[in-house]
Amino acid sequence: MFYCVGFGFVVSADCICVQLAPDKAGMDALNEKYAQSLKKRLVSVQTTSQDKNNALANAGTLIDETLGPVRPRPQAAAPPPLLKPTKKKEVNVDLNSHRDFAISLLSVGALRPAMEAIGKYPWMLRKYPRIADILLFYVEYALTPVYSQCCPSPANPVALHAYSATKGQHDEEELRVVKKHVTFTFPEPLPTLDVQQVYFYSAWSKFIPVCSTPEDIPVLVEPMLSIIGVQAFRNQQVIVKLCRLAKQQLDEIKVRFYIRFPSHGR
């Protein structure tokens, strides 16, 4: 089904979304429940911080030393605790086909229908961070060509360090053999010293547009960032790359300005 939507056999994702569960009323109820949980969490954090800052409330009781040593009073034996009936734990299964549908579309590179499905319920980016993580991965992938022109660096420093040959430093050790395993997790987990996870569908990169020039950033990257919103903090590399690209653009503007108006000086 995801291939049919992603590759144009189904014109729009609307005809699929109306068949997913829960319906619009159920999604609104999930959103309201999530908003209430955020409010309760915020109130608990504020209350805890106020209690920690109140040193007088946290101080122990003062003892009047003029009355001499205080002898502890004998306490009566505590009654045996009452056995409370055990309650069965309720299994909270968060079934949301809209979330799974959006994640599945993003995992095969079907960016346009996935954005259409996410646009119906943008709050899913806050409740389900994995959607934001995949979108941020695509933003970083789209920035790679234009970023490599101004700041050439290895695309994956962790993988470069993991695969670096240590034969020059330790001649007695053999080169480490890296095993590849197929994974259904997208994006691929970071590799270890001897294991590299390879996503089963490697053709996703053919359907993701990339920025070849800085002028492509407002067209390709800005729409995704407007949907991601504040969840962009989850990928600091994207923020760093955008800041470096912006700095380079400002430097080029300054150079052109001083060339055109040399009398202003630098």
Q: pLDDT tens for residues 81-137?
A: 666 666 555 444 568 999 999 999 999 999 988 998 999 999 999 999 999 999 999
Is position 14 within any domain? yes
CA distance 101 to 262: 57
When pLDDT is cut at 50, 70 and 90, the band that residue 177 belongs to is confident
Give residue 127's pLDDT. 93
- In the chain, the percentage of residues whose pLDDT exceeds 70 is 67
Structural domain total, the chain = 1
Residue scoring higher pLDDT (13 or 111) = 111
Is position 88 within any domain? no
Residue 115 sits in which domain range? 1-45+95-127
CA distance 209 to 237: 19
255: amino acid identity, one letter? V
Is position 20 within any domain? yes
In the predicted structure, residue 151 carries a pLDDT above the cut 80: no
Give residue 172's pLDDT. 42
Query: Over the stretch 247-266, which tens digit does the pLDDT of each residue have?
Result: 998 998 888 888 887 776 55
- Which residue has tokens 């569960």? 21
Give residue 49's pLDDT. 58
Query: Is 121 in contact with 102 (CB distance < 8 Å)?
Result: no
Give residue 78's pLDDT. 65
Q: How far is CA 196 from CA 72, 135, 253, in A?
A: 65, 22, 43
Choose among 72, 206, 219, 58: nearest CA to 141: 206
Give residue 171's pLDDT. 45
Residue scoring higher pLDDT (81 or 7) = 81
**DSSP reduced 3-state for 186:** coil
Give residue 228's pLDDT. 93
Is position 160 within any domain? no
The stretch 11-29 carries a mean pLDDT of 84
Is position 73 within any domain? no
Give residue 14's pLDDT. 75
Is position 185 within any domain? no
- In the chain, the percentage of residues whose pLDDT exceeds 90 is 44
Mean pLDDT of the chain: 79
Is position 104 within any domain? yes
Is position 37 within any domain? yes
The stretch 161-185 carries a mean pLDDT of 65
**DSSP reduced 3-state for 138:** helix
pTM of structure: 0.74
In this structure, are strands 179-183 and 195-199 parallel, antiparallel, or unpaired? parallel
